[in-house]
Amino acid sequence: MSVQPSLPTTEVELGDPLPVLGSDVTVPLVTGGEVPYAALDYAASSPVLASVWNDVASYVPYYGSVHRGAGYLSQLSTDLFEQSRETVREFLGCRADDEVVFTRSTTDSLNMMAAVLPAGTKVYVFETEHHAALLPWRDTELTLLRAPGTRHEAVEIVAEALAGHDPERPGLVCVTGASNVTGELWPVAEITEVAHAAGARVVLDAAQLVPHRPVDIGELGVDYVAFSGHKMYAPFGTGVLAGRADWLREAEPYLAGGGASRRVVRGGDGFCVEWQHGSARHEAGSPNVVGAYALASACRALRSQGFASLVAREEALLRRTLAGLAAIPQVKVLSLLGDCAPRVGVVSFVVEGWNSSHLASALSAEHGIGVRDGMFCAHPLVRALLGNAPDQPDECGAPEPLAPGERPVNAVRASFGAGTPVEHVDRLVAAVARLARDGARWTYRTEAGRCVPVR
Ligand code: PLP
């Protein structure tokens, strides 16, 4: 295995990673001893930024109820919650009349989006989306868009589909900013231009984009943005749906309850309810102030570090990873939009002859590396990338080598970000090279559908 000599080799050349919790955690190896844990599963949930943790720790003694208490700490917590909303608004470059609604996650945000669509809305979604973007539209007329082979084709497919869209009818295109499987960046601004020309709106699934790239609603032109705190270094159960106020204002509340209601009176056999306007309309129940504050803290940290340096560093890590994997003949890196498509730090791959679950298990047990294996909640996309049929069984926990020519049913995904040291990606490349060449040093078995080391 060789890494190209022109690639930066030290943290000094790359710049230091941002401090994250867990960077000094060591994990046991089945082969004996301990190593520092290499967290390469940022796309699932990133580690906590130390600055986010410090902010949360400083606030927690002052924790109180939000929008429902007269006491000092309730007032303080309410102020902090609303200030957090303003921080997110600035972070996203929202238009003056956009709403910022705190949710539980991207999944929650996109389900909220589906719940507030005006009657008769037609939704357009690529079949390659994450399930959180693919599945919430069950009560809506849905057009599934086929998988594109390039960024340019993605725009063409949207244009073709929307050519027949009745501009009098509400329309919504849901598109990801960066794929959680390939890391590839989708041409969001171009898709938005096409959608708007046809009279449709765009909701951006920014779950994998926000931690890696600046997301500016004004610049991209999108109408709504959805993302999660736990993928951007703030894992305290908060997400965001931000965007145009009208559909949010006119819809029934996403959740019914306290906080969303202004006035409730007995009427007839039930109640007459005057619902709140603005974000409170869709934030029923006691808000998650710790989560919102943590998410806002992460926004501040990324902004103050500057995306220019974060992107430059991540791209250097990505080049290093891709070059290292390319030098291993048995490895195939998955790509939908072509090798030239820009990516964030998310790389999925398969290794010839290996069941991906077995490989991921050996990376963890023998090398202390945490990656994800599976279909990454994007089953149609992963099947398409692996060339597998929809009716092929997806079970993947067996440790046996694949038969010659047998296709893996799932993949391994390594993902990284602002807290990743060079050593983690180098260890990954070296470990994959060693496993591909020499095989596993330990014995594995299947337990509850997963491949685990025999102990
Ligand atoms: N969209 C994408 C692209 C994702 O990668 C994910 C999570 O992996 C989601 C949506 C759902 O995010 P969450 O699990 O935070 O709701």
Tokens of 11: 């943290």
- 362 CB near ligand 1 (under 6 Å): no
CB 184 within 8 A of CB 175: no
Q: Is the fold of 26-48+306-453 the same as that of 51-304?
A: no
User: What tokens were used for 390?
Assistant: 């929809």
Q: Are strands 171-176 and 122-126 parallel, antiparallel or unpaired?
A: parallel
Token reading at 58: 């400083």
Pick from 231, 343, 413 the residue to mutate for probing ligand 1's pocket: most ligand atoms within 8 Å of its CB. 231
Residue 381 Cα to ligand 1 midpoint, Å, equals 14
What is the spatial distance between Cα 210 and Cα 218, in angstroms, rounded to a whole number?
15
Q: What is the pLDDT of residue 5?
A: 43
Whether ligand 1 lies within 6 angstroms of the CB of 415 is answered as no
Is 377 one of the catalytic residues?
Answer: yes
CA-closest candidate to residue 410, choices 379, 437, 433? 379
CA of 110 to the centre of ligand 1 (A): 10
For a pocket test of ligand 1, which of 42, 130, 230 has the largest count of ligand atoms closer than 8 A to its C-beta? Answer: 130
Ligand 1 close to Cβ of residue 182 (< 6 A): no
Report the DSSP beta bridge partners of residue 143. 124
> How many whole angstroms from 34 Cα to the centroid of ligand 1?
32
Q: Which atom of ligand 1 is nearest to the CA of 377?
A: 8
Is residue 132 within 6 Å of ligand 1 at its C-beta? yes
Tell which residue, 294, 293, 213, has the closest CA to residue 47: 294
Q: Is the CB of 128 under 6 A from ligand 1?
A: no
Domain locations along the chain: 26-48+306-453, 51-304
Residue among 107, 135, 212, 225 to mutate when testing ligand 1 (max atoms within 8 A of CB) = 107
Distance of alpha carbon 151 from the chain centroid? 19
Pocket probe for ligand 1: among 228, 233, 288, 376, the residue whose CB has the most ligand atoms within 8 Å is 228
| Cβ contact 46:21 at 8 Å | no
How far from 384 is each of 117, 263, 378, 387, 411, CA to CA, in Å? 30, 51, 10, 5, 12
Does the beta carbon of 279 sit less than 6 angstroms from any atom of ligand 1?
Answer: no
192 lines ligand 1 (CB under 6 A): no
Ligand 1 atom closest to the CA of 108, numbered from 1: 16
- The single residue of 94, 174, 299, 377 carrying the catalytic annotation is 377
Strand 26-28 with 34-36, pairing: antiparallel
Q: What gap in Å lies between CA 373 and CA 355, rounded to an integer?
A: 10
Q: By the 8 A CB rule, do 38 and 428 touch? A: yes
**Residue 258 corresponds to which amino acid?**
G
What is the SS3 assignment for the chain?
Answer: CCCCCCCCCCHHHHCCCCCECCCCCEEECCCCCEEECEECECCCCCCCEHHHHHHHHHHHHHCCCCCCCCCHHHHHHHHHHHHHHHHHHHHCCCCCCCEEEEECCHHHHHHHHHHCCCCCCEEEEECCCCHHHHCCCCCCEEEEECCCCCHHHHHHHHHHHHHCCCCCCCEEEEEECECCCCCEECCHHHHHHHHHHCCCEEEEECCCCCCCCCCCHHHHCCCEEEEECCCCCCCCCCEEEEECHHHHHHCCCCCCCCCCEEEEEEECCEEEEEECCCHHHHCCCCCCHHHHHHHHHHHHHHHHHCHHHHHHHHHHHHHHHHHHHHCCCCEEECCCCCCCCCECCEEEEEECCCCHHHHHHHHHHHHCEECEEECCCCHHHHHHHHCCCCCCCCCCCCCCCCCCCCCCCCEEEEECCCCCCHHHHHHHHHHHHHHHHHCCCCCEEEECCEEEECC
For ligand 1, say whether the CB of 347 is within 6 Å of any of its atoms.
Answer: no
Closest atom, ligand 1, to C-alpha of 44: 8
Residue pair 124/145 in contact (Cβ under 8 Å)? The answer is yes
How many Å lie between the centroid of ligand 1 and the Cα of residue 130? Answer: 7
CA 107 to ligand 1 centroid distance, Å:
6
Ligand 1 in contact with 107 (CB < 6 A)?
Answer: yes
- Residue 364 token pair: 């963890």
pLDDT along the chain (455 residues), means of 10: 52 84 97 97 98 98 95 97 98 97 98 97 97 95 97 98 94 98 98 98 98 97 98 97 98 96 93 95 97 98 96 96 97 95 97 94 98 95 91 71 84 98 98 97 90 91
Pocket flag, ligand 1, residue 106 (CB < 6 Å): yes
Class of domain 26-48+306-453: alpha beta
CB 123 within 8 A of CB 142: yes
**What does the alpha-carbon distance between residue 113 and residue 224 come to, in Å, rounded to a whole number?**
9
Q: Are 182 and 348 in contact (CB under 8 A)?
A: yes
CATH class assigned to 51-304: alpha beta
